Amino acid sequence: MFAFYLGCLYLISALINLLLIKEKFNIFGFIFNPENRKFLLIFDTPFLLISFAAIIEESHWFLFVIFFMHALNSMTLLIKPQLFYQSKEEMHLMDEESLNNYLVIISSVFGVGCLLISYF
């Protein structure tokens, strides 16, 4: 059941990202603004908690990957935020449109993957 909720949350996130892209919102400018650090931690918390609950309910390697990805992101923001914000320079090597598409694709793949786990 929690894997289903996590999948729905990821798909909603992908749709919101698509809407923000359509409205020409600078998503990565928002993410890499140090003033938005608390928002990012709050935004990451439901993903972290629901993925943990999904792991307890059903152990699957895909759920472990999702959980550790969110845990690593949150711990980096809490413990070494300068390391998180240093990756901004690496992101500039790619086109912003490509990064936005990547964000939507990854959210969609994670969402569909979680829905498949909950179905089978």
- Give pLDDT, residue 25: 87
Rounded Cα distance between 11 and 18, Å, is 11
Rounded Cα distance between 93 and 95, Å, is 7
Q: In whole numbers, what is the pLDDT of the chain averaged over residues? A: 89
pTM of the model: 0.88
Every domain of the chain and the residues it spans: 2-119
**Across 14-36, average pLDDT:** 88
Residues 44-97 pLDDT 10s: 999 999 999 999 999 899 999 999 999 998 999 899 888 887 776 666 666 777
- Give pLDDT, residue 39: 92
Q: Who's near 50: CB < 8 A, 6+ residues apart?
A: 2, 5, 6, 9
Residues 21 and 104 sit within 8 Å (Cβ to Cβ): yes
